[in-house]
Amino acid sequence: MKTLKGYFYRFLGKKSATYLNGWYTFFNKWRLLSVNYVYDAKMYHSHSSMVKKNTWKKKEATIILHYHAIEKAFLHSSLRFRFGIPRIQILLSLIKDLEKEYLTSSQVLIACECLCKYYEIHQKNNIDVSDYFSDDDYGFLRNINQKEEEIVHEQVRELFFKKGLDFKDFASSRRSVRNFSGELVSPETLDKVVEIAKTSPSVCNRQPAKVYCIQNKEKLAEVFRLQGGLQGFTDGISQVLILTCDRSTFYSVGERNQLFIDGGLFLMNLLYALHYYNIGACPAHWAKEKHDDIEIKQLLDLDPAEKVICVVPIGIPKENFKTTLSKRRANTEILHFIN
Ligand SMILES: Cc1cc2nc3c(=O)[nH]c(=O)nc-3n(C[C@H](O)[C@H](O)[C@H](O)COP(=O)(O)O)c2cc1C
């Protein structure tokens, strides 16, 4: 190869050979990047729930999606009766069709509990739901899950932010807060938050994360519109943090998704740091397509090299507020040893 390169340089002359080599490198990198992005796209197309929902894991993901929306609806102080009928129908049909072995999964059990709570609150208020949720359905679900559990937790602000907890208790005391008082968090406190958040590790210490704080009302409204996942909870939100990662810090084709790893690690540290300083927060996805990505960058005047990783509404929670149970999986569903 070395001799071939030498021959090439001798034959063309140094200037032309360097010029051509530059173009070759440019196209080769572009080719490699395309091949790998196409591979990512193929993997996503085949294995995500985007196209087919034909496996147990995909069905479970759909169950989680819908039961979480129901538990979130229970956060509102006044419940809109007969809400989410299509979700209830999808959940009922999915759970009824599951093979017996899957009915003990943590996520199916809690989905049953959410549905039971939905049924019970309607019964208690004499609201008829029998056109889409029958007594037999309720009996079937209660039989699967006989252990009742609260799907939302009533929180008192003073108790939510406890001091002096060890890490285990501190980590499990953090919850996504969606009810804010509207009071602003000071720049000094946010500076202290970032001091902790930046202790997160990053690949080769490249530290691609940046945090932007927005409190301009018009910009906030635009961010909520573009983000879309905070509907019904935006009233008390006066500040939003936008977490981005700068692509300029990455070199190789293999690092094409590294910004999501470094960004995710920074995000978790940021959430803990906010919780430590008694600030409520709810990470909100930026699982968006091209046009929204372009729009938010223009709105916030971000450097084109930056990628929005997450939108994080922050604030002082109301004195009394609710959080979702968001039941975690059993360890046996997560930890596996490979021999
Ligand atoms: C990347 C990410 C995106 C999220 N997007 C939203 C969202 O758009 N709207 C929302 O209400 N919650 C959102 N959440 C919050 C999750 O619903 C929440 O973290 C999960 O249910 C676990 O509950 P916990 O944070 O209270 O422990 C998001 C969380 C993460 C990590």
Q: Is 283 in the pocket of ligand 1 (CB under 6 A)?
A: yes
Q: Whose CA is nearest to atom 29 of ligand 1?
A: 283
Q: Mark out the alpha helices in the chain (DSSP H runs).
A: 2-12, 14-47, 56-73, 85-97, 106-124, 135-144, 157-160, 167-173, 187-197, 217-227, 258-276, 290-300
Count of structural domains, the chain = 3
337 part of a folded domain: no
**Contact of 79 with 129, CB cutoff 8 Å:** no
Q: How far is CA 327 from CA 67, 99, 108, 109, 156, in A?
A: 11, 22, 10, 10, 20
Q: Which contacts (CB < 8 Å, 24+ apart) does range 101-108 have?
A: 102/56, 102/60, 103/144, 105/60, 105/333, 106/327, 106/328, 106/329, 106/330, 106/333, 107/60, 107/63, 107/64, 107/67, 107/327, 107/329, 108/60, 108/63, 108/144
| pLDDT value at residue 200 | 98
- Give the distance (Å) from ligand 1 centre to CA of residue 245: 19
Ligand 1 atom closest to the CA of 323, numbered from 1: 26
Residue 329 lies in a domain: no
Atom 19 of ligand 1: nearest residue by CA position: 176
Is ligand 1 within 6 A of the CB of residue 282? yes
CB of 259 shorter than 6 A to ligand 1: no
pLDDT of residue 167: 98
CA dist 95 and 103 (Å) reads 8
| Same-domain status, 35 and 97 | no
Q: Name the DSSP class of 180.
A: B
Based on the domain organization, do 239 and 144 belong to the same domain? no
Residue 31 structural domain:
2-47
Do 175 and 95 reside in the same domain of the chain?
A: no
Residues 142, 210, single domain; the answer is no
- 323 pocket-lining for ligand 1 (C-beta < 6 Å): yes
Q: Is the CB of 179 under 6 A from ligand 1?
A: no
Could you write out the DSSP letters of every residue in 105-167?
SHHHHHHHHHHHHHHHHHHHTT---TTTS-HHHHHHHHHH--S---SEEEEEHHHHS-SS--H
Tokens for 260, please give them.
């999501």
Give CA–CA dist 183/241, Å, rounded.
Answer: 15
Task: Give yes or no for residue 229 CB within 6 A of ligand 1.
Answer: yes
Residue 163 and residue 128 in one domain: no
Gap between the Cα atoms of 257 and 263, Å rounded: 10
21 and 143 together in one domain: no
Four-CA torsion 250, 251, 255, 257, nearest 10 degrees:
40
12 and 134 housed in the same domain: no
23 and 85 co-located in one domain: no
Same domain, 187 and 134: no
Residue nearest to atom 2 of ligand 1 (CA): 285
Written as tens digits, the pLDDT of the chain (339 aa) is 567 778 778 888 888 888 888 899 999 999 999 999 999 999 999 999 999 888 999 999 999 999 999 999 999 988 999 999 999 999 999 999 999 999 999 999 999 999 999 999 999 999 999 999 999 999 999 999 988 999 999 999 999 999 999 999 999 999 999 999 999 999 999 999 999 999 999 999 999 999 999 999 999 999 999 999 999 999 999 999 999 999 999 999 999 999 999 999 999 999 999 999 999 999 999 999 999 999 999 999 999 999 999 999 999 999 999 999 999 999 999 999 999
**Which residue, judged by its Cα, is nearest atom 11 of ligand 1?**
230
Distance 152 CA to ligand 1 centre (A): 14
Regarding whether 214 and 279 lie in a shared domain, the answer is yes
Residue 336 lies in a domain: no
210 and 86 fall within a common domain: no
